Amino acid sequence: MSTVGEYPGTALEQREALRRGDVTARELTVHALERLEATRDLGAFVSTNHDLALHDAAAADRLIAQTPASERHTLPPLLGLPTAHKDLVQVAGFTTTHGSAAVPHLTAKADDPIAADVRLAGAVCIGKTQVPEFGIAGYSENLVAPPARNPFDPARTAGGSSGGTAGAIAAGVIAAAIGSDAGGSIRIPSAACGLVGLKPGRGTVPADRLLGLVDEAGTPRMAVSGPMARTARDAALFFDAVMGAADEPALRAVERASGLPALRVGVSFASPFEPQLPTKFDDDARTAVRRAVATLTAAGHTVEAATFDYGGIYGEAFTTVWTQALTRIEFAKGAEAQLSELAAWFLTRAREASPERVMRAIVDLREFARRARSQWAHYDVVLTPALAHIAPAIGEFWSRGPAGDYELQCDWAPQTSLVNVVGLPAITAPSGADAAGLPRGVQLIGRAGSEIQLLQLAEQLVS
């Protein structure tokens, strides 16, 4: 049974209602908290702080009331809008679990940079959303809280690692939020739950730049922050907010998306995990691409089949680099026994990799990125399926053991992680639904600096 919910307007509509005085931030926050409680069975939220959320909403209401109606357009862009952060992000006053029983669950005293920027923009955090342990999977199940379920079919996953966030938006608890994406973690759950999800390019979002463009091992940082929303306009609103763009260029551009100049679009079903893991796209994934091709063609774009050769080095190199972050976590004595089976398996693999092997994998990924960029450069945009097949059932990943779990993740989302490795922006947008009513979507990969253009394309696809 679907538990998709109706939220009181889009984020943009809520903002205008707040500025007109038609609704208060407290009323929106109370509605969000009530909807959160009504959808607890979806497992979207790990923790909440009603008192803190209502306190922040009251502060927003005071600021709005003190500002003359003619000047309210100068208020912080997200002032009074309820939102949430995934349970990997430190948010002052909220507990962070990282989805793991193997680390302490502490109440944050300060915001992480991205949470600080969302707070500065005026949004009201109502809670922390469900994630996989340490964000290492494309679904959101762990040992510390119930799994994040898909509001369109609660027997199935909402995706990951921003799965709880996607579920909260699709279920009508909040209108939009900022997620994070290191291998598909914004795009996978957005596609599974019928949302628009933007993964900006490496170093685009100011808060991400504060963390540096390379990690502790010298590897180009794959994780970035970006918006998730029901509409492209709401995604643009939140993107502008974290970019600190007072004139809201993304939102203005999306509002004029019908005037986007013609682009050359290449359609690809190629997966970098082949030949080790041949990918089978189901009929609904292919139908979603055909719908998108028809829509983009009607909008004046040139769309054609593209042929890309990714070679055979990606799978092993990506897995080697992807798992290394686990080796930098300091576990208390005996705590590793509390790791999930997948995290423990990844950690063992990571520790077994010699420094020479890790360096070779880094070099291989850099070469892969160069090769992919060179081939994609023939097009303005590359169009792929968002996901290869229907969202797996809750428990399906775990039932296969860690090796089978990871294989299913790569099989379900074979074309997301490569974009993080290359460092370019990408967006997923809905493109119809399958016979069971589950959303199906497509991914659009853009050139460096094309985040706003991608939001315009998403608007063309969903409007």
Domains and CATH numbers, the chain: 11-312+358-462 (3.90.1300.10)
Q: What is the C-alpha to C-alpha distance for residues 416 and 155, in angstroms, rounded to an integer? A: 24
Q: What is the C-alpha to C-alpha distance for residues 261 and 281, in angstroms, rounded to an integer? A: 31
**Per-residue confidence in pLDDT tens, the chain, 463 aa:** 566 666 679 999 999 999 999 999 999 999 999 999 999 999 999 999 999 999 999 999 999 999 999 999 999 999 999 999 999 999 999 999 999 999 999 999 999 999 999 999 999 999 999 999 999 999 999 999 999 999 999 999 999 999 999 999 999 999 999 999 999 999 999 999 999 999 999 999 999 999 888 877 677 899 999 999 999 999 999 999 999 999 999 999 999 999 999 999 999 999 999 988 988 999 999 999 999 999 999 999 999 999 999 999 999 999 999 999 999 999 999 999 999 999 999 999 999 999 999 999 999 999 999 999 999 999 999 999 999 999 999 999 999 999 999 999 999 999 999 999 999 999 999 999 999 999 999 999 999 999 999 999 999 999 8
Q: What is the C-alpha to C-alpha distance for residues 336 and 101, in angstroms, rounded to an integer? A: 9
Residue 163, phi then psi, degrees to nearest 5: -70, -40
Provide the token pair at 47. 């923790």
Catalytic residue among 100, 128, 140, 161: 161
pLDDT (tens digit per residue) in 222-259: 999 999 999 999 999 999 999 999 999 999 999 999 99
Helix (H) / strand (E) element for 226: namely strand 224-229
Pairing of strands 124-129, 82-86: parallel
Catalytic residue among 86, 100, 140, 199: 86
Residue 383, phi then psi, degrees to nearest 5: -105, 130
Q: What is the C-alpha to C-alpha distance for residues 420 and 445, in angstroms, rounded to an integer? A: 11
Question: Rounded to whole angstroms, what are the CA distances from 306 to 62, 69, 206, 268, 379?
Answer: 54, 52, 33, 5, 9
pLDDT computed for residue 1 by the predictor: 53
Q: What is the C-alpha to C-alpha distance for residues 193 and 282, in angstroms, rounded to an integer? A: 18
Give which of 346, 394, 348 is closest to 160, Cα–Cα: 394
Amino acid at 88: L
Contact between 94 and 127 under an 8 Å Cβ cutoff? The reply is: yes
Residue 431 bears catalytic tag:
no
Q: What is the C-alpha to C-alpha distance for residues 345 and 133, in angstroms, rounded to an integer? A: 12
Listed in sequence order, the DSSP H helices in 177-282 are: 187-192, 206-209, 232-243, 249-255
Q: What is the mean pLDDT of the chain?
A: 96
Residue 161 bears catalytic tag:
yes
pLDDT computed for residue 219 by the predictor: 77
CA geometry: angle 130, 135, 137, nearest 5 deg: 100
Catalytic residue among 100, 162, 185, 340: 185
Angle between helices 113-120 and 232-243 in degrees, nearest 10: 110
Residue 86 bears catalytic tag:
yes
Contact between 64 and 111 under an 8 Å Cβ cutoff? The reply is: no
